[in-house]
């Protein structure tokens, strides 16, 4: 398996992402963008990229911030600015996906994005921005947005995996998201996991450092399986559409 850092440029900034794929295969495979938490591109997301590669995907973990923060204050300011204006995240994802689609290992007709915590919010912003990908999956990500999707804007399927006991994504936030997605006419679903809090996919999350966050093995396992099921559904549909378009040409 290839797993390595990859220099790239997106939204006008030089960045270092993380690429993982099975180099022994000769076929073209789906590409998945992997979006990191608010602490930056760390080992949790790198490990998820390697797991995707082992399943047969080309996984590219993005560097959303352009490097590590020098201070907590810088991190808070950066994240606050990004959530207030998600256009940069949307441009970044579009450029990164174009980079992946140009790679010889990738089938450009099969694409997705997944994200964790802050990256889960970012994945939903990619969908709200009308990205031409198959689906996005948000794991314990925030559901609020400064730019709600308008009818017809969302082109991909959406899966939200969230904890019923997550204090950062309470029931009223879920209800507002449901209303937004319904108004937009999106293909969406929410999986709600009983007993799970924020950050439930990260076995190394420290509840003392991150109040309201805790690992939850069952929610982690079930949400990953739900993601795989959605990938199977969407990629089968995308392959069919690509064959139909090819026949028309």
Summarize pLDDT for 81-111 with one digit per residue, the tens.
999 999 999 999 999 999 999 999 999 999 9
- Categorise residue 246: left if φ over 0, alpha if ψ from -120 to 50, beta otherwise: alpha
Counted domains in the chain: 1
Q: Check residue 226 and report its DSSP letter.
A: H
pLDDT of residue 153: 97
CA distance 37 to 14: 19
- Provide the percentage of residues in the chain whose pLDDT is more than 70: 95
Contact yes or no for 228/55 (Cβ under 8 A)? yes
Q: Determine the average pLDDT of the residues in 17-24.
A: 97
- Starting at the edge strand that comes first in sequence, how are the strands of the sheet with 29-35 ordered? 2-10, 13-21, 58-61, 29-35, 106-116, 135-139, 157-163, 187-193
Quick one: pLDDT at residue 245?
A: 59
Q: What confidence tens digit (pLDDT) does each residue in 1-20 have?
A: 999 999 999 999 999 999 99
CA-based R_g, the chain, Å = 17
Domain coverage including residue 19: 2-248
pLDDT at position 94 is 95
Judged on CB neighbours under 10 Å (0-12, 13-18, 19+), 125 is buried
φ/ψ (deg, to 5) at 110: -130, 105
pTM for the structure as a whole = 0.94
| pLDDT band (50, 70, 90) for residue 236 | confident
Q: How confident is residue 244, by pLDDT bands cut at 50, 70 and 90?
A: low
Q: How many angstroms separate the CA atoms of 73 and 84, rounded? A: 16
pLDDT digits (tens, 9 = 90+) for 182-197: 999 999 999 999 999 9
The pLDDT, as a whole number, for residue 242 is 62
Domain holding 231: CATH number? Answer: 3.40.50.1820
């Amino acid at each position: 398996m290839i797993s390595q850092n990859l220099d790239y440029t997106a939204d006008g900034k030089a960045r270092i992402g993380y690429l993982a794929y099975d180099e022994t295969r000769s076929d073209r495979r789906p590409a998945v963008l992997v979006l990191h938490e608010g602490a930056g591109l760390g080992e949790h997301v790198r490990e998820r990229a390697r797991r995707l590669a082992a399943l047969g995907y080309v996984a590219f973990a993005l560097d959303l911030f352009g490097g590590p923060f020098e201070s907590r204050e810088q991190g808070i300011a950066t994240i606050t600015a990004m959530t207030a204006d998600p256009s940069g995240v949307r441009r970044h994802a579009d450029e990164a996906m174009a980079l992946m689609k140009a790679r010889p290992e990738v089938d450009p007709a099969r694409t997705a994005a997944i994200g964790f915590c802050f990256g889960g919010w970012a994945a939903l912003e990619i969908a709200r921005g009308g990205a031409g990908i198959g689906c996005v999956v948000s794991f314990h990500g925030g559901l609020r947005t400064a730019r709600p999707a308008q009818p017809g804007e969302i082109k991909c399927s959406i899966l939200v995996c969230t904890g019923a006991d997550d204090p950062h994504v309470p029931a009223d936030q879920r209800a507002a998201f449901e209303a937004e997605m319904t108004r937009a006419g999106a293909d969406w679903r929410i999986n709600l996991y009983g007993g799970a809090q924020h950050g439930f996919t990260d076995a190394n999350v420290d509840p003392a450092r991150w109040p309201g966050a805790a690992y939850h093995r069952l929610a982690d396992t079930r949400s990953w399986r739900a993601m795989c099921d959605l990938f199977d559904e969407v990629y089968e549909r995308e392959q069919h559409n690509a064959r139909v378009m090819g026949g028309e040409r």
